[in-house]
Structure 1
Amino acid sequence: MTGAVTDDALLQRWRDAWPAALAAWSKYTRLRDARLCHTTMAAAKEGLQGSFAMIRLLDQSVVVNLQGVRELGLQDYAVEILAHEIGHHVLAPASAADQFRLLARLRRALPTLEAHAPMVANLYTDLYINDRLQRQAGLRIDHIYRILEQARTAPASSRVWTLYTRIYEQLWQLPKGDLGGGAADQAIDTDAWLGARLIRVYARDWMDGAIKFATLLLPYLAEQQQQMEEFYRLADTRDAAAGCDPSGGYQVEEGELETPIHPVQDRRISGLDEAPTDPAPDAQRTPGSGQAREPYEYGEILKAAGITLSDEDIAVRYYRERALPHLVSFPKMPAPLSTELQPEGLEPWQIGDPIEEIDWLATVVQSPRPVPGLTTVQRQYGREAARRPKPTPVDLDLYVDSSGSMPDPRFHTSYLALAGAIVALSALRTGSRVQVTLWSGKSEVIVTPGFVRDEDQVLGVLTGFFGGGTCFPIHRLRQTFAAPRDRPTHILMISDDGISTMFDNDEQGNSGWDVAARALVNGGAGGTMALDLRPDWDGDQQAGWLQKSYDAIKRARSEQGWDIHAIAQAESLVDFARAFSLRHYTNSSAQSHAKHRPRP
């Protein structure tokens, strides 16, 4: 019973400390109250494991395990610990997007040791927060590190921990070894001084100093990467971005592309005249800022930020983000003015106005004895916007090649999947329904459950992969267009010369040419092929073993009316998809499609 009362008293003390912790940053700081958990089990239900405190960027929350706090002997440091967690929301990383950016930079600066990026990010942001709370808010952050050192169970400190505590000692002018850690040699002392200088120099631009901090830690991590367990109890941002959706994460920022340099090479930090200036000159920058990262790298950063998704879900998110800047605008339908006049307000009728314009009922209501020019009124009329009939959306039947010559969208950028996403999402945006078929060899087919309006279903099929042979699923085209569609439907093929297999006979002996012709007629909105072909595919020069395929594609264009787009480079598929979407999914496209009839 005594223990329960003590726990309740501790809980109340920590609740009472919350306003003071907020005030350590600003009297205007506002966050939801901290989630204070009595037991480790209760904290685990909140997602807190390994450490005694954590932050959640998803709902701007602070979670504290009071049982863990008691076990470490930190129950008297409520303001310090809560203020530290608040600092992660206020200062660094502050948002899921910045956490994502920070991890991306650190991973590039930790070759072969990328798995330690979340821990390095935690240590790095802790330095800025703790230095500010110790020096400006007057909190007892140094006491916490002394208590943690006393609670250590490992036999000896790692060199990483020694370097880290020496940085704090340099920042706060404490005696060497005052915060614990092992024996510090001259190299550690020098690096600790550089680390402290880095924290002060980049206090206002902490994102720009991240790569240099990782470079400082890199040799120590490489020596003792098996001794990182001692940092887990401080890992309060390890899963901070769990459940978040950082937009724009597929883009590589210019800051990531800097050649990693040691802090001693930064003149602002070291003060050495021979050191290069910062930021690094163009010669030290890797060209290509603004480029997109590969899907596998995007996924690794998401996982490092605590976002747990399958490879398939990561691919869906990746291609949706990359497609968004290229989508058509949401349809706008300006309504014309109505041809009928609508009664509006009243205005005085003056002598000289046509007498038939007097509204006698409104006049009598105002005065039972009308006085011309004084009590007489007339009705005003205006025009309202008429409701414009909505055009019939053009559905999309999309076929994407996933044979062995195509990249796996889950690991490397597939411009076929990206182009398909641009076109399909544009179609969905304008009210159309989309059916996607991913195909490779015989019986290697994935298709959406008919024509759907669900983005996830569409992107889930587009980001799949077979990597097998090449055999177009003629039966899918035959079944989809066995009868005229209820709405106009455009057929789009994204492939290479392997699309010629759609004109072979199907499993029932039907000619692929007949199936394709019937599909165009019953679809009623035309067909397009975006194909990776040689630049001279349409010339008279013989193309060797590709000639048969090229002849079939030419015949499809001349006899059936397929619109053929030869794509010289895979990247050009993005330009094609954007132009295709503008042409087929704007306000006027439905009317133009309704007039279009392919040649049978």
Structure 2
Amino acid sequence: MSPRGFTPEHIAACWRDALALWDIHVQLTPPEPHVPFLPGADHANEPLAYIDLAKRQVFVHFELLASMGAADSLTAVLAHEIGHHARFPHTLGWDAELRVQEQRLIPGLKQSLTNLFYDLQVNEVVGRTHAEQLAEVYRGFQRARPGDVSPLFFFYLAIYEELWGLAAGTLAPAAQEAEMERQFPYVRTQARMFAQTFYALPTPRLQFLYFCAMFIRYVGEPQKLEYCLPLGGDVSLPDVDDLDAAVHGSAGWDDALEDAKERGWLSGGRSGDGTDALDTIDRVTRHLPGTDSGKLRHALVSRHYRRLVDQHIVKLPSLPSRPEPYLRTLPEAWEYGDDPSTIDWTLTVLSQGPLAAVAPLRRELEADLPIPSELGVPSVEIYLDTSGSMPSPEHQLNAMTLAAQVLSASAIRKKATVKGIIYSHDNPHVSPWMYDEETARDFLLHYIGGGTWFPFPLLETLSRERPDAMRVIISDSDFLANVSQGNAMDLLVEATRRSRALVAFLALPDEHGVRKILAPVLRERRFRLVVVRWLSDFGPAAAALSQALLEN
């Protein structure tokens, strides 16, 4: 059945004409009808056309195109989609670069403007021969979504009026002209200037900086911006690799930024200079769908700290990531309320037979701990203070977290195991013994905040479990206040005697009064005190400490 009057012959002819417009061979299959994402949904909210890059398939919402009154614009719609693929490909890596830059230029932007940017590039070429068909799509889009258009979309449509030589009000609603001129004086002049300037710029980077500089005036409140385009539904979201490369690999933008500032487009905080990587990561990930749990942000932050760690310690040749060695516990009956991921379905089916579905068995994972002497170097326990006196490492560089990561990476690269203890006031987080650098790095990015109380009973317990381990306490003056209370000093001395070494790695302005407070434990030959006066020195000091502790 042909979709709303579009015969296979007509679709094939439009497809040939669209391909001929670009005069290039593309590996795309002929268009197929769009299947609604949500059954029964209002098709006005569905995309008009897009490309599924995984299948190399073009999809067109024929019913929406017909209901918009733009059925005769099929060739232009197809040519638009081919243009995205053939002449102006928005790869995920390129899209990540643009998202990073726009968040630096327009902080807090809720919805990316990259779709607008890509469409402006493609429609200039398609509009040379099919301007009226594209114009009919934009008019039909407004008929399908009645009501006033946003200032952003008004300016966008006004640019096309200037570009295609259309009379004012042909695309941008004439009824809003006076109000737009009142709110944004010279909006028509700016649209004309944009059409004359944007397409004459020599590089896409410079085009995007000019685009942001002009469109920011019409964004309003960036954190509330939401818009919809008739031909803007085919840009996939970049993944962690793309965004990571964009955040840390922006050297190609330096010349473009300097050029933009010389041209007077950028000024003040919109230049993007000196933007901290963690702040950029927060901006870029804050409004992306599916990041409520912070997994994407956490992954990008983890990679950022890995780079910082590698600045302080020698990076060994990369080896295949070693999985954490775990053993399965004895099977037990799974009960309602237990974690479904603990069900061992293979064992259940083999042992329970037909009752497998109603009587599943569960098995937990527990670490298979090697004997310390098998590792060549001692195990390392790291007690990291994450109280409110230091910032959350995901939003601002935390020097103590960096120090812990340097120590951890140094130990693991020497084939040691590491246990992390993240503490603040109550309920410290304790990791299993970790063998993999990435696992340890992710754990050490945890943050609690609040007051400070060192877990002396936990220290005493762990020192009994693994007496051969080295232990490093990373804190500040709060540790001195903690150790002066109750029997804390006695527990610290006992743990020191049972450890290979115990180091208090403290951020203090000076050593005045420290040795008096720590006098009982300073007499122990296995105790070491390391004072760091400046937080910026924590990373190098941790690298030096790692070398001293772990060198055979």
Tell whether the structures are fold-level matches, with TM greater than 0.5: yes
2:534 pairs with one of 532, 549, 569: 569
From the superposition, tell whether residues 509 and 167 of structure 1 become closer, same or farther in structure 2 (CA, over 3 Å).
closer
Of residues 78, 89, 92, the one that matches 1:96 is 92
CA, structure 1 residues 580+559, in 2 after alignment: closer, same or farther (shift >3 Å)? closer
Contact kept, 8 Å, 1:311 with 1:410, in 2: the verdict is no
How far residue 192 of structure 1 moved from its aligned partner, in angstroms, is: 0.8
The match for 2:507 is 532
Tell me, yes or no, if structure 1 residue 278 matches structure 2 residue 263.
yes
**Residues 45-76 of structure 1: per-residue CA shift (max 9 Å, x gap):** xxx96433446788987665454444435555
Amino acid at match of 2:263: D
Contact 1:324/1:422, CA 8 A, preserved across alignment: no
Structure 1 counterpart of 2:282, one-letter code: G
Q: Secondary structure at the match of 2:470?
A: strand
Paired residue for 1:146, among 132, 136, 139?
136
Within 5 Å, give how 1:351-370 maps onto structure 2.
Answer: none
Q: Does 1:247 align with 2:244?
A: yes
Answering whether residue 407 of structure 2 is matched by residue 410 of structure 1, we say no
Distance 2:132 2:56 in 1: 26
Instruction: Give 1:220's aligned residue.
Output: 218
User: Is the Cα contact below 8 Å between 1:103 and 1:305 reproduced in 2?
Assistant: no
C-alpha separation in 1, matches of 2:522 and 2:89:
56
Looking at structure 1, the residues matched to 461 and 29 of structure 2 have their Cα atoms a distance apart, in angstroms, of: 56
1:243–1:257: structure 2 CA closer, same or farther, 3 Å change rule?
Answer: closer
Distance 1:20 1:566 in 2: 74
Describe the superposition over 1:380-432 as per-residue Cα deviations: whole angstroms up to 9, x where unpaired.
Answer: xxxxxxxxxx9735533221101121112233322222333344345445544
In the aligned structure 1, how far is the partner of 2:486 from the partner of 2:31? 65
Distance 1:30 1:292, change over 3 A: farther
Q: C-alpha offsets along residues 10-44 of structure 1, whole Å, 9 cap, x if unaligned?
A: 68976887787667557354468878533343799
1:521-569 Cα distance to aligned partner (Å, 9 max, x none): xxxxx444432111x32xxxxx4xxx2x453457655633444443333
Which residue identity is paired with 2:297?
A: I
Q: CA deviation at 1:451?
A: 0.3
How far apart, in 2, do the equivalents of 1:407 and 1:226 lie?
28
Mapped contact 2:96–2:243 kept (Cα < 8 A):
yes
Structure that is richer in helix per residue:
2
Determine whether 1:451 maps to 2:453. Answer: no
2:348 aligned partner? none
1:473 and 2:455 correspond: yes
Does the 8 Å CA contact 2:472/2:503 hold for their aligned counterparts?
A: yes
The separation in 2 between residues aligned to 1:444 and 1:141, in whole angstroms, is: 65
**Is the contact between residue 384 and residue 473 of structure 2 (CA under 8 Å) also seen in structure 1?**
yes
Please say if residues 423 and 581 of structure 1, whose CA atoms lie closer than 8 Å, have aligned partners that are also in contact.
yes
| Conserved? CA contact 1:53–1:236, under 8 Å | yes
Conserved? CA contact 1:252–1:289, under 8 Å: no
1:325-364 alpha-carbon deviations (Å, 9 max, x no partner): 533423589xxxxxxxxxxxxxxxxxxxxxxxxxxxxxxx
Match of 1:346 in 2: none
Change (3 A) 1:171 1:447: same
1:126 to 101, 119, 123: 119
Instruction: Find the partner of 1:515 among 476, 480, 495.
Output: 495
- Which residue pairs with 2:423 in the alignment? 439
Return the alpha-carbon distance in structure 1 between the equivalents of residues 292 and 315 of structure 2: 29
Q: Which residue of 2 aligns with 1:163?
A: 155
**C-alpha offsets along residues 66-125 of structure 1, whole Å, 9 cap, x if unaligned?**
5444443555555543443454456657233332332233234335xx33551x322122
Q: Check whether the contact 1:169–1:179 (CA below 8 A) recurs between aligned residues.
A: yes
2:435 & 2:121 partners in 1: Cα distance? 47
Rounded Cα–Cα distance in structure 2 between residues aligned with 1:500 and 1:314: 34
Q: Which has the larger radius of gyration?
A: 1
DSSP 3-state at the match of 2:102: helix
Query: How far 1:199 moved relative to its partner?
Result: 1.6
Amino acid at match of 1:329: K
Alignment of 1:321-336 (within 5 A): 321-324=304-307, 326-327=309-310, 328-331=314-317
Q: How big is the shift at 1:518?
A: 1.0
Q: Is the 8 A contact 2:119 2:232 kept in 1?
A: no
Contact kept, 8 Å, 2:474 with 2:505, in 1: the verdict is yes
Structure 2: 5+ residue runs without aligned partners?
A: 320-373
Tell whether the 8 Å contact from 2:281 to 2:300 is kept in structure 1 after alignment. Answer: no
Q: What is the aligned counterpart of 1:551 among 516, 520, 526? A: 516
The one-letter code matched in structure 2 to 1:278 is R
Identity of aligned residues (%): 20
Q: 1:125 to 1:205 in 2, by over 3 A?
A: same
Write the letter of the residue equivalent to 1:492. V
Query: What is the CA–CA distance in structure 2 between the aligned matches of 1:192 and 1:156, rounded to whole Å?
Result: 19
* Secondary structure, counterpart of 1:399 in structure 2: strand
TM-score, normalising length: structure 2: 0.71
Which of the residues 288, 293, 302 maps onto 1:310?
293
Contact kept, 8 Å, 2:493 with 2:520, in 1: the verdict is no
Matched, 1:498 2:494: no
2: CA distance between counterparts of 1:468 and 1:494?
Answer: 16
Deviation at 1:194, TM superposition (A): 1.8
Compared with structure 1, are the counterparts of its residues 249 and 307 closer, same or farther at alpha carbon in structure 2 (3 Å cutoff)? farther
For residue 392 of structure 2, give the secondary structure of its aligned residue in structure 1: coil
Give the residue type in structure 2 aligned to 1:241: P
- Measured in 2, the distance between the counterparts of 1:195 and 1:289 equals 25
When residues 150 and 248 of structure 1 are mapped into structure 2, their CA distance, relative to the original with a 3 A threshold, is closer
Q: How far apart, CA to CA, are the structure 2 residues paired with 1:316 and 1:473?
A: 29
Q: 2:380 aligns with which of 390, 396, 405?
A: 396
CA distance in 1, matches of 2:84, 2:382: 46
Q: Quick check: 1:394–1:490 contact (8 Å CA) kept in 2? A: yes
How far did residue 179 of structure 1 move? 3.4
Unaligned 5+ segments in structure 1 are 267-275, 334-389, 521-525, 538-542, 594-600
Q: For 2:18 and 2:378, how far apart are their aligned partners in 1?
A: 58
TM-score by length of 1: 0.66
The 5 A counterparts of 1:361-380 are none
Distance 1:58 1:438, change over 3 A: farther
CA contact (8 A) 1:397 1:435 kept: yes
- Equivalent pairs, count: 484
Q: Given the superposition, is the C-alpha separation of residues 41 and 392 from structure 1 closer, same or farther in structure 2, using an over 3 Å criterion? A: same
**Shift, 1:437, TM fit:** 0.8
Matched, 1:81 2:77: yes
The one-letter code of the counterpart of 1:566 is V
Report what 2:106 is aligned to: 110
Partner of 2:341: none
Distance 1:434 1:19 in 2: 62
1:475 maps to amino acid: P
SS in structure 2 of the partner of residue 406 of structure 1: coil
In structure 2, what residue type is equivalent to 1:106?
A: E
1:65-76 equivalence runs, <5 A = 65-74=61-70
Q: C-alpha separation between the residues in 1 aligned to 2:16 and 2:461?
A: 67
Instruction: Choose from 282, 299, 306 the match for 1:299.
Output: 282
Letter in 2 for 1:301: V
